[in-house]
Amino acid sequence: MGRSPAGAAVRTFKALAPAKINLWLEVIGKRSDGYHELSSLMLPVGVYDQLDVTLGGTEVSLECSHPDVPQDDRNLAWRAADRFRREAGWSQGMHIKLVKNIPVGAGLGGGSSDAGVLLANLNRWAGAPLATSTLVDLARSLGADVAFFLESRPALARGIGEKLEWVTGVPAYPLVLIKPPVMVSTRSIYQKLTLTRPKAAITIRALEAQPWSFQQVLENDLESVTIVEFPVIAQIKQWLMNNGALGALMSGSGPTVFGVFSDEARARKVESLARETWRRSWVQTTQVLSEPDRPTWST
């Protein structure tokens, strides 16, 4: 533990913020506030941003390893820290160093994860001044997916993604993630979506009523819309299936596609092939995190 120039103790911690995939994403309808009603099975996966937080001073500052990520109040993690301090009445300042390993604009929830993980850890560091319900409300106010990352556990998300029911028994599936070098406008995809579902087709009860099988839920209503604009997504899906994936799907509004594999060895072989085949794409082997990831702390 070091000391600031004023002589006050400087405390630091590190936390890992995992990515997510949507094993299931259905769009039920559009609400009066303009948001879309969703039902989605969200799974955390083992690709992480790293947050190095140094407590000291009276202001919030942030630096990021990725040149395209804002480092001011446009950054979701910065806003999470600022809102937490105000809600908790906590005057502690901090400097956040954000190391981005989750691709930006990938449909993997990187920004939401940074904010949710930071909120959970700040509350712990500050001695839990916010009750769980208050922390969840704060996370929801920052973004639909932020509350999911307070715990980063498999969950069925409803509403605009903020109503969560935890799902148990999800295997640690080996995955290959491929993000082609395109940028998807989530707003544009939702605007082009034709709503046809009368109600959610999946429930916690349905998931728990039979042995777990990802084939029963592998669907994304946004995929067909995104593929029209970016056919490479369909090409990657087919390529993954041709190379032994048990299933493949676009995550979120894309463009990242994940392939589910029977074992890690096969997934790593496909990762190597993918790096040769999709040379301009981001490629990563990982697995589903069936248990919540715990942050690593240092002082």
Catalytic (active-site) positions:
20, 145
Angle formed by the axes of helices 232-242 and 264-277, nearest 10°: 140
Please state, in angstroms and rounded to a whole number, the distance separating the CA atoms of residues 259 and 19. 15
For residue 273, what are the CA distances in angstroms to 21, 96, 267? Answer: 22, 37, 10
Please state, in angstroms and rounded to a whole number, the distance separating the CA atoms of residues 141 and 78. 14
